[in-house]
Each structure stands twice: as C-alpha cells, then as structure tokens.
Structure 1
Amino acid sequence: MRLPWLHGDSPFPPTSQALGPETDAPGLLAAGGDLGPERLTEAYRHGIFPWYGEGQPLLWWTTDPRMVLPVAEFRLSRSLRKTLQRFLRTPGCEIRFDGDTPGVIKACAAAPREGQDGTWIVPEMVEAYVRLYRLGRVHSVETWIDGQLVGGLYGVALGRMLFGESMFARRTDASKIALAALVAFCRAKGIALIDCQQQTAHLASLGARPIARPAFEAHLRQAVATPGPERWAYDPGCWIHLGLKPDDQPPP
C-alpha cells in the first residue's frame, strides 16, 4: 500500500486506511502536510496525531487499539496518595495550570526517555504546540517547588476531550503529581477520557487501557462537539474528586 502524501489543504484519508498490525508501522495513516494550527486541530478532531523524528518526513498516526485513561479508573496508589498529601501540606509546593506552558513543552522535548535516542518532540513540534497554546487549545499542568518548575505535562484540549502529549519530571513523582491534578480537574469538569495514544506499562499501572479505534472515535465525536471548561485553572477544591480530605490542603 502506498502511503498517502498530504499537500496544501488536502484532507486526511479515512482513519480506516491506516496501516494494520501486520505491517512494520501499524497506525501510520499519512505523511506530509504541515503543523499549522488548522491542520493540527483537524487532525486531533479525528483522532490523528503527528509523530516523527529528526530526518523523517512529517508522519500522521491513528493507533488501533488506542491507549486511553478513563479518569474514573485512575489508580491512586497508597504511596502516591501519601506523596500528594505531603506535597499539598508543604509551603512552597504548588500546582499551576498554564503557568509556563512553553517551558513545559520544551522540558518534555529535552527529557531523556528510556530506550530512546533523541526525542520525537522536534523543534518544529515545539513551535507548533506553542502556537496552539496561544490559541487556547493546548494546556499544561505544572508542579512547582520554591518557585522552580520541577515537573508537568501538556496536552491538546478540544471540547471535553483531552489528548495527553508528554510529561517530564525533575523531582521524584513530580509528573505523577501533575497527572493526579489533571485527573481531579477532569473529574470535576466532566472530561471522561484522556487520550494517551501509545501503550506503555507505566500508563497501564495508572489505570490506562487500550480500546478499539471505533470505540475511541465514537467517544471522540461526542466529546469534541461538547463545550469544554470555561477556564483551565487550578482549584484546590478539585482534590475531593480523588478522595483527598479537606485537611490534606495547606492552611490559608
């Protein structure tokens, strides 16, 4: 099968045409095009995402099955619960939403990954997602200690659908703290699924699981058509959605 090549405003092919599990690149749908806001937004609306490395053409993917984190199934382990309680009670420890989204994206691009040489978040990707952030379509959740950004994650938000992109940590559990805050926010705002794209054991340990592409796309169509949260902002009260008690919060 010849891989479709995108030119100008040419549309994406149907996701059913993505390469299958018997190929060397299951989920690969198309190549070419650009990373402009319109193209990227259209891609995410159909469950398509870019993923490529230095020296490769721009590649577009739609995996089947799709790894997702149903926020109702997020696994808050006993050790992470204790970490959160300690973090929330410690002066100088903060959760911020969109405090430094470009910084989070750049930190994710620079973070070393086990078993990987280099990063898929190439400079063109960084620029593209920063542009989407300025249009209000990308958000970050950040872990700060004593005024320093020590961990976080970012993702694309369309309606009530969140597409998780990447995370990083400069302190132990800093990215897990940010993810827990995101899950609490999503539960509070009626966002049912966080798209994780790729299957990993780490995500599975937190409650993520694969679902068939048709089921993912059915949820996607409904979610992107539903108005999303009016504001992406940290609310300390959101922790109740993870079962944390009021006395887990820092004093006023």
Structure 2
Amino acid sequence: MIFRLDERLLFPEPALAEEDGLLAVGGDLSTKRLLLAYQNGIFPWYSDDSPILWYSPHERFVLFPDELKVSKSMRQVLRSGKFTISMNKAFSDVIEACSVVERIGQDGTWITEDMKAAYKQLHAEDYAHSVEVWEQGSLVGGFYGVQVGHVFCGESMFSRVSNASKTALIWLCNSGLYKLIDCQVHTEHLESMGARMIPREEYMALLRGNG
C-alpha cells in the first residue's frame, strides 16, 4: 500500500513500503520533513513530472568504511597527488554538477530545482555536506549527502575526470567521521569498492546507534 502524505509531519511505518521500496507520495521538502525521513530510513526520489515520492528499500546498499576496497591502480592515483580534497567548500557547485551529469540508462535527472533548493537549505543548517575533488584549481568530482548521527546518507556523485568520485569516497571512508555510508542504490562501481546489501532492520539499528 502506498500512503499519501498531507501537511502533518509524519510518515507511515517504513516496513510497509512496496516491494520496490516506494512508501509514500506527496508532502513537501521542508527541512523538518527531510530530517524526519532520513532519521527513519526514508528518502525522496522523483522527477519533475511526478509528485514527491518517498522510498524506504527493504534492503540497503551500504559501505562500511573498514570494508573499503582500494585497487592497486587507485592507490597509485592517490599517491600521485594529482587531486586535492575539501569538504563543504563548494556544496552548491557539487549539487549543480550532480544534477547535469549524464548517467547510463537514465533520461534527465531526479535532482529537480525543488530538490536542489531543499538540500542547499539542509546544507545551510549543517545537515547536508559535500566532498569536493579538485585538479589544478578546477572542481572535477565529488558528492553530497545528509548526515544522521554517524551515518552519511549519500545522495549523488559526479566525476568530470577518471577516478575523481572514487577519490572523494575513499577520502570520506578514511576521514573517521562516519561509521556507515548509505549508498541507497546499487551500482557495480560501488560494489567493487566494498559496498553490500544489508536488511532494513540492520540498517535502522545502525542509524539509531544500536548497531
């Protein structure tokens, strides 16, 4: 059953989500609603031609920093010093870049203008963060996401040159800031770096600091 949200600040029980993870429709992208969503393992994912759709997958694709896999060739890239890394230096630029990057099998973007405005507000209130990768002063890669305690809920990443987004992810894993990185959607790229599926129950325990 898919629930329709109204002006009340609440969500249905996440375990009631459809098989594909779709839980609810409607509501808004206010800071309070977004934070409530992430605190309950729910995130928005929709396009310009649809209402706001809220998802809570029955399995979560996550990366534990201590399970990170870095290839020999990637270690050479990191040692080369070709990239420099920053955090929260260019959040708006990162989300704009993520919104226009072409993705295999996708037409257009799910990062709508409303989504960009909402996450920029989350960043202004210190709930959303970005990691930037620079090469010779130019922004060449990075990602952004939402912090819930010691969990980083990744939203999107981009790369303008080879290995830039990988460099950003490796930096975050090695930063010691988070116990878990929620990757949300499975990709072979992230699986090759150690990400794996865990049940919702395990994810929620980690999200609430009980795991």
TM norm. shorter chain > 0.5: yes
Q: What is aligned with 1:222?
A: 209
**CA shift at 1:54, angstroms?**
1.8
Q: What is aligned with 1:27?
A: 21
Q: What is aligned with 1:235?
A: none
Q: Deviations over 1:88-108 (max 9, x none)?
A: 2x4xx4211111001101100
Q: What is aligned with 2:87?
A: 97
Contact 2:62/2:197 (8 A) holds in 1:
yes
**CA shift at 1:9, angstroms?**
1.9
**CA shift at 1:168, angstroms?**
0.4
Give the whole-Å Cα distance in 2 for the aligned partners of 1:15 and 1:211. 15
Q: Deviations over 1:69-115 (max 9, x none)?
A: 011101011011001111x2x4xx42111110011011001110011
**CA shift at 1:202, angstroms?**
1.4
**CA shift at 1:46, angstroms?**
0.5
Unaligned runs of 5+ in 1: 21-25, 224-252
TM-score relative to the length of structure 2: 0.96
Unaligned runs of 5+ in 2: none
Q: What is aligned with 2:190?
A: 203
Give the whole-Å Cα distance in 1 for the aligned partners of 2:73 and 2:155. 25
TM-score relative to the length of structure 1: 0.81
Q: What is aligned with 1:181?
A: 171
Q: 2:96 aligns with which of 92, 101, 106?
A: 106
Q: What is aligned with 1:115?
A: 105
Give the whole-Å Cα distance in 1 for the aligned partners of 2:167 and 2:16. 38
The count of aligned residue pairs is 211
1:70 aligns with 2:70: no
Give the whole-Å Cα distance in 1 for the aligned partners of 2:64 and 2:148. 17
Contact 1:63/1:198 (8 A) holds in 2:
no
The structure carrying a bigger strand percent of its residues is: 2
1:165 aligns with 2:155: yes
Q: State the identity as a percent.
A: 45
**CA shift at 1:28, angstroms?**
0.4
1:13 aligns with 2:12: yes
Give the whole-Å Cα distance in 1 for the aligned partners of 2:151 and 2:196. 17
Give the whole-Å Cα distance in 2 for the aligned partners of 1:60 and 1:106. 22
Q: CA RMSD in A?
A: 1.3
